[in-house]
Each structure stands twice: as structure tokens, then as C-alpha cells.
Chain A
């Protein structure tokens, strides 16, 4: 049973970081209507910013986290300005391709600066272990869980209980009606982009400090997971993304533990397919009504 609980714990921690990453995807898709394919590369860049800040300046989590978030928000704004805004009117695919290119650019800037090899990520909180029953909780994991949950709770509060959050939701739902009540939907879009990109930074710092290592090539598998979470949760459902992220992390870990680490992704995909066929709008999604 200890093995089970250890896996459950590890999966929950990783899943929280997935959820934070996927939330960014979801927010951008919901508000800007664009698949932001460079989101995972912003994650990678964020990880390396965090690494640089900690090795050059130090200060641990309280310094690294805000610095990373600011850097990622800035990158996100740049992507919005360069790759999304000029192409939003042309088609669905054009901005997606442009963000793919932006992602390749971001990733390779990281590689040019830091090299292609993985780096070991310095601890942001003093390393320590806590034993609960037979389960070992590392300080980095506890920290990731706490920060991740706090960030998600904060985002939930922001979206559901503030004026700006209502503006985000109104813009995602009916942009024209939102404008008629005085909401500057372009400002909402830009701010959402910055916020979502900052979330990628949070996910990067947390995941890197849990793994203790960081590679510029983490983008592909994470990007895929982010997409899967967004779709399974139902496009543009924020609370759904949170739950699905955690569920995916736990599921992955348990599958690796008990079934086969090698074929883990096969099961995840099979599950995804079952969900899609059974509920084509995602678990938490709304049914989209098309009118003739």
C-alpha cells in the first residue's frame, strides 16, 4: 500500500503542475480563440529563466517565482503581438502556424544561450524529507503542491470573484455583448495572454524543482498533455482543466507503477479516445449548438 500512496502523492504533485500549464492553454483558447502552440516553449523558457535567476542571484522561491512569471508574461505578450494579432483575422490555421514558429524560435534561443543539454535544477527550498506513514514527501514536492494549489485557487478567485475575471468570462462567452457593457475586450485578451503565460512559468519552476532537472526538449510531451487536458476537460472550462490535470498526473503515475511505464501513454490515449467518443464536448464542456 505504501507504494500506492507514494505513487498517488507523486502523481498529484506532477498533476498539479500539468493543471497549471493546461490552464494557460485553456484561458488563451477561451478568450483569444487561438491554439497557442508556443505555450510549452514558454514553459521551457520560464524554467531556464528560473534556473538563471537562482544560480546567478539566488533567493529561492520567493525571488525565482515572481521573476519567472514576469519573464514569461513578457514573452507571452511578445508572441501575442508578433504571431497572433497580425494573423487573427486571416484563418484558424495561420496564427497556429505562426505560434509554432514562435515556439521553435523561443526554444532555440534557450538552446543558443544555455546549450541543448539538460541542467540540474537547483533546489528552491531547503531539501528535506517528511515521512507520513510509509510515504516520503520531499520538501520540493510539498512546495510545488502548495504553490500550485494556491495559484489555482488564486486564479479561480480571480476568474469567479473579481470584476476583471468576469470581464474575462464575458469576453470568452460573447465578446460583442461584453463590449456593449464597456469591457475593453482587446485589453482583456492581452492581459489574459500575459496571465496565461505567467502560469506556464509557474508550472515550469514547480515541475523543474520537483524533477531536479530541466531540459530544453520538455516541450513536446508537455504540450501534448496540455492539449489533452484542455480537450478532455471541455474547451475553455477552467475548473475542468484543474481537475483533469491532477487526474492525468495521478493516472500516469499509477499506470507506470502498476501496468507498464513504457506503455503509459497508450493507456492515456485510449482513455482520451473513450472520453471523446462518449462525450464529444469533453467532460465539463458545454454542448455547442450550431444553427442552420
Chain B
């Protein structure tokens, strides 16, 4: 799905020749220390940062379709949704409105309202806060909102950028369950995490990115063993 991707900005070569594939119904985790290029990669897949060589494609019903030259809105139409790092909720807008913007591509006010109602049922905490401006929500609630907002269009591919960041452990539990549910519904889930414990518990397949390069590509279970990840992660970058 992503092949030989490169991302540069300023003088930084943030992502170097990275190839990875995420499949429907499975959770694919992308791990790595700070500054490894994980967020750059997700933003490149979404089309928010320009790529410098490489291919991005989605395969629907066996037919691959290249998205490399498409704009971010076009990629959204192709079924990709992003839960951005730091949640990126629209602070001045209410919970309901945030959801409606998430469903911008749905046809018709009624369809948007119905889908928003479904999600508010699914996320009762957000239901209670429906008319509050998003900026007034707690960190955990904002994260729920960012996830719910991305779910509005029932995307084929869900990109999650550090959903556990800054959340209390209890809340991380909730987020884990939600992500599991999303994958169970047949969605491609690509999860970027620094919290490797959480990510490995969730993921089927894992990639580890260090200094812009892939240093691990394999079963997530292979990293669960004591010290395995610590070696890759806390070890010299590029050693894998």
C-alpha cells in the first residue's frame, strides 16, 4: 500500500524509502521513538505533506488504485480518514459540529445527522457533551471526538496518530477497545504509537521506524517478548 515513500521538509529527510502494507480487519502498528518519522509518514499517506518519490495506493476488491498524485480531499473521498496527532479537534465548534465536519463527504444533512447520532450513541460521553465546544472537553474526550469524527464516513482506512498521547491509563483502555472494534468492522487500521505496550497489545502486524527507516517488519507478537522491543527501540538507531 505504501511503497518506497520519502518525505522531506526543511533540511530534514523525515521518511526514507519506507514501504509498508496495512490490511483490512487487521491492526497494523507503526512504532518508533520520537522523531522517527511516524507522524510524517501518516501525514504523507493522508496527503497533507508532499512526498518526494514513492507510491501510495489502496486496493479495493483486488483492484489497486494509486493515490500518489491525489490531493488530501481526494484521498478522503477514496476512504482514508485521519485521527491527527494532538487530536486536532475544531476547538470553537461543538462536539456535534465536529462530527458533522467529519462527515463532510456524506450526502445530505439527514445522513450526517443520522450517522452523528449513531456515533454519539456509541460514545455516550460525547453524547452528554454534544453541545459543548470541543476546546472545553478533557483530553480523553477530545481523543474520543477525534476518533468518532474520523469514523463519520465509515472510512476504509483509518490512520491513528498517537491516540494514547497524554491520556490517563484508564482512558487508554477505552481507546484500545474502540480501536479493536473499528478493526473488527473490517477497517484497515494503521496505528502510530509511542506507547508500545498499548500498540503491541492491539496490533497484529508491526513496523518499527527509527530515524526515518524501517528497522522491523513482522508479527506484532514477535515484539512482545521481554526486551525484544527495548533492544530495537532503545538500541542504536538503524541497528535492526
A–B contact, 8 Å CB criterion (strictly below): yes
What is the bound-complex CA distance between A169 and B135, given in angstroms? 14
Provide the bound-state CA to CA distance between A174 and B102, in Å.
13
Q: Which of A169, A179, A286 contacts B72 (CB 8 A)?
A: A179
Determine whether the beta carbon of A178 is less than 8 Å from that of B101: yes
Q: Which residues of chain A from 107 to 158 have any CB-CB distance to chain B below 8 Å in the complex?
A: none
Range, interface on chain A: 10 to 19
Instruction: Give min CB distance, A187 to chain B, whole Å.
Output: 9
Binary contact track A157-185/B, C-beta < 8 Å → 1, others 0: 00000010011011001101111111110
Residue pair B91, A180 in contact (C-beta under 8 Å): no
A228 CB to closest chain B CB, in angstroms?
Answer: 22
CB distance from B131 to the nearest CB of A (A): 12
Point out the residues of chain B lying under 8 angstroms from A184, CB to CB: 73
Residues 66-86 of B, flagged 1 when their CB comes within 8 A of A and 0 if not, give: 000001110011000110100
B46 pairs with A167, CB closer than 8 A: no
Q: Would A169 and B93 be within 8 Å (CB), given that A180-B84, A182-B104 are in contact?
A: yes
- Judge if B105 is at the interface, Cβ distance under 8 Å: yes
Q: Which of A163, A173, A176 sits near B104, CB closer than 8 Å?
A: A163
**Chain B residues closer than 8 Å to A183, beta-carbon distance:** 73, 101, 104
Complex Cα spacing A170 to B134, Å: 12
Extra contacts besides A166-B104, A167-B104 (9): CB < 8 Å: A167-B101, A169-B93, A176-B72, A179-B71, A180-B48, A180-B76, A181-B153, A286-B92, A286-B135
Which 4 pairs, one residue from A and one from B, show the smallest C-beta to C-beta distance? A182-B76, A179-B72, A182-B105, A177-B88
A-B contact pairs, 25 of them (CB 8 A): A163-B112, A166-B97, A166-B100, A169-B90, A170-B90, A170-B104, A173-B91, A173-B92, A176-B72, A176-B84, A177-B90, A179-B47, A180-B46, A180-B47, A180-B48, A180-B72, A181-B81, A181-B101, A181-B105, A182-B73, A182-B77, A182-B105, A183-B73, A286-B91, A286-B92
